[in-house]
A and B are shown apart, each in its own frame.
Chain A
Amino acid sequence: DTAVSQTPKYLVTQMGNDKSIKCEQNLGHDTMYWYKQDSKKFLKIMFSYNNKELIINETVPNRFSPKSPDKAHLNLHINSLELGDSAVYFCASSQNSGGRTDTQYFGPGTRLTVL
């Protein structure tokens, strides 16, 4: 009965590789997000989607490409991985249109390590 799930939990890969992280929510929410948490625990939004439509696209290298096949899924594909991409990536979802008061529900995170 997990609300927001991510796979894989851990991802270790070499520089230059391409990898994907998957996210699914079973809460019936309309909006999904990707966040990056760096080694100092600082959390920053990367993208958000509302009903499969891109809403927020922060200043993120275009090696990062989100894909939302349906409103319950938001995947993150990363090309040509770099050392600086090492971080914990969190998926989140919220019920409505990502409004200012919406509560966001977070997944358990994916720890990406680039060697």
Chain B
Amino acid sequence: AQSVTQLGSHVSVSEGALVLLRCNYSSSVPPYLFWYVQYPNQGLQLLLKYTSAATLVKGINGFEAEFKKSETSFHLTKPSAHMRDAAEYFCAVTGKTDKLIFGTGTRLQVFP
């Protein structure tokens, strides 16, 4: 069965600091991996996805993630945080089935 684990339910950074949100996956087949963002009181929006092409994936709003098979990881990064990045971030995986399996989410707080 597929699963994702997001380490750290809350991450706090200062504006301008590096953002690192961690995601590890488990899958019995080559996975496809996604990062979604949820702003307060809104639906989810796709940030980026890995579909077995390039291992370094660039997304919207300056975010990127690197697929590392040896570490079963797909961590999300952004070099410089903005106040508008404050949101809930979800890592998700599809594996053997078409179902999108979400992690438990990481709340990012950005302080001025």
Binding site for B on A (CB under 8 A): 4, 40-45, 48, 55-56, 90, 92, 97-109
Q: Is the CB–CB distance between A108 and B43 below 8 Å?
A: yes
Q: Is the CB–CB distance between B43 and A45 below 8 Å?
A: no
Inter-chain contacts of A104 with B (CB < 8 A): 44, 46, 100
Q: Is the CB–CB distance between B99 and A43 below 8 Å?
A: no
Closest to A98 in B: B98
Q: Is the CB–CB distance between B32 and A109 below 8 Å?
A: no
Inter-chain contacts of A43 with B (CB < 8 A): 44, 90, 102, 105
Interface residues of B in 86-112 (CB under 8 A from A): 88, 90, 94-95, 97-100, 102, 104-105
- Digit string of B33-57 for contact with A (CB within 8 Å is 1, else 0)? 0101010011111100101000000
Q: Is the CB–CB distance between A106 and B44 below 8 Å?
A: yes
Inter-chain contacts of A4 with B (CB < 8 A): 43
17 contacts between A and B (CB under 8 A): A41-B38, A41-B88, A41-B105, A42-B104, A43-B44, A43-B105, A44-B102, A45-B100, A48-B98, A55-B98, A97-B98, A99-B98, A103-B34, A103-B46, A104-B44, A105-B46, A107-B43
Closest to B95 in A: A100
Inter-chain contacts of A98 with B (CB < 8 A): 98
Inter-chain contacts of A109 with B (CB < 8 A): 41-43
Measured in the bound complex, the distance between the Cα atoms of B98 and A97 in whole Å is 9
Choose from A48, A101, A106 the contact partner of B94 (Cβ within 8 Å): A101
Q: Is the CB–CB distance between B51 and A101 below 8 Å?
A: yes
Known contacts: A44-B102, A45-B100, A56-B99. The answer to whether A100 contacts B94 by CB under 8 A is yes
Known: A56-B99, A106-B43. 8 other contacts (CB 8 A): A41-B88, A41-B104, A43-B44, A43-B105, A45-B99, A100-B94, A100-B97, A103-B49
Measured in the bound complex, the distance between the Cα atoms of B100 and A48 in whole Å is 11
Closest to B36 in A: A106
Q: Is the CB–CB distance between A108 and B42 below 8 Å?
A: yes
Measured in the bound complex, the distance between the Cα atoms of B45 and A97 in whole Å is 20
